[in-house]
Amino acid sequence: MQKLLEKFENTSPEIVFEWKDKELGAEGWIVINSLRGGAAGGGTRMRKGLDKSEVISLAKTMEVKFTVSGPSIGGAKSGINFDPDDPRKDEVLRRWYKAVMPLLKTYYGTGGDLNVDEISDVIPITESYGLWHPQEGIVNGYFNPNEAQKVHKIGQLRQGVSKVIEDGEYTPDLHKKFTVADLITGYGVSESISHYYQLWNKNLVDKKAVIQGWGNVGAAAGYYLAKAGVKIVGIIDVNGAVINERGFTLNEIVDFYTKGLIENIIPFKEANEIIWNIHTDIFVPCAGSRLITKDQLEKLIKNGLELISCGANVPFADKEIFFGKTLAYADENVAVIPDFIANCGMARVFAFLMNGVEEITDEAIFKDTSDTILNALKRIKENYTGDYNITKKALEISVNQLINQ
């Protein structure tokens, strides 16, 4: 596997687009690892200190993700080096999307990612420049549709991605207008955990979980896990943590989801010393990339950890794109569901809607994402019977598929 990964990692991206914002000094990159199938896809992230190498690694991760979610296209990513808390963020995004509009119209599709929201940032800004939908480039490049087909596929995307959840089975609060884009990635992370316990013949109910990151992905994953009977014992993000070693109630998790972590919060510095030492069966990293250290893993494993489901892209503190020493250590000691399976929900929704569905319902969208993740884990289980080295086997399957096409 290592030789396959090295070959894939070391192959130069097909296209690298670089941008410099003359007004505020922001930098941006689109990295298209390949135009497999005539198109490429990957979300837009923004953070202070982001560089081109981070975008390259994420583009390659997206290419692997599409072997799970579909369609059979190349991986890409947009990254902007700018402080997302700066009040001029919207100005930067507007100038960025104006600059990359030719790619978005022809062969590149994007969406939300870290600090960039699909519904409030990406869609309205790109629409203001005449783009029908942020996935329009994939529709054009991959499907090569006639006019009627293009109108239908983009109509499906516009309706499905922004759809307000109406089925109480899938939303923490029917009175708040949560959309598919708000919830689907976290839902997929939760489903990856449920499917793992089902396929490996283990009981999920009353397992304890710690979640790192309480944005859209972590909060939604926490809600669905609590709903499935998991005891959320700790939540940590940049502001601090809440910890209850007996497990928070579902109502408490819903409050955290809708109101944020605002009551009885432990300051981050203190929380970061405590949270790695509490007993947990499941760890769900949903914060930034390359944060999880071997020392943190050792503490979690000592305290009973048995499963990690990667809600964040590339969550382990390795320089390698896919399989560095920290991830290898985790994979050899616990079950690790990789990011390209666990957090493929949004990519799968795009593929599902572009392929055409008879009726766009909450149940149809969420079930399709759940089934896609289940099938990916089944494929691993059919080829491998062990409890550990799940990520290694998943990478072998996906990279072999890419290299041998």
Q: Which residues contact 99 (CB under 8 A, 6 or more apart)?
A: 19, 28
3-state secondary structure of 353: helix
pLDDT digits (tens, 9 = 90+) for 171-217: 999 889 999 999 999 999 999 999 999 999 999 999 999 999 999 99
Q: Is the pTM higher than 0.85?
A: yes
Inter-CA distances, 239 with 49, 141, 182, 263, 317, Å: 19, 42, 21, 12, 21
pLDDT digits (tens, 9 = 90+) for 24-62: 999 999 999 999 999 999 999 999 999 999 999 999 999
Share of the chain above pLDDT 90, in %: 87
Give the per-residue pLDDT at 405: 65
Identify which has the larger pLDDT, 4 or 30.
Answer: 30
Cα 329 to Cα 319: distance, rounded to the nearest angstrom = 14
Identify which has the larger pLDDT, 24 or 355.
Answer: 24
User: Is 357 buried (19+), middle (13-18) or exposed (0-12) by CB count in 10 A?
Assistant: middle
Give the per-residue pLDDT at 105: 97
Give the per-residue pLDDT at 359: 84
Quick one: average pLDDT of 323-346? 96
Quick one: average pLDDT of 375-393? 91
pLDDT band at residue 400 under the 50/70/90 scheme: confident
| Strands of 173-313, DSSP E | 208-212, 231-237, 240-243, 266-267, 282-285, 307-309
Give the per-residue pLDDT at 1: 67
pLDDT digits (tens, 9 = 90+) for 262-321: 778 999 999 999 999 999 999 999 998 899 999 999 999 999 999 999 999 989 999 887
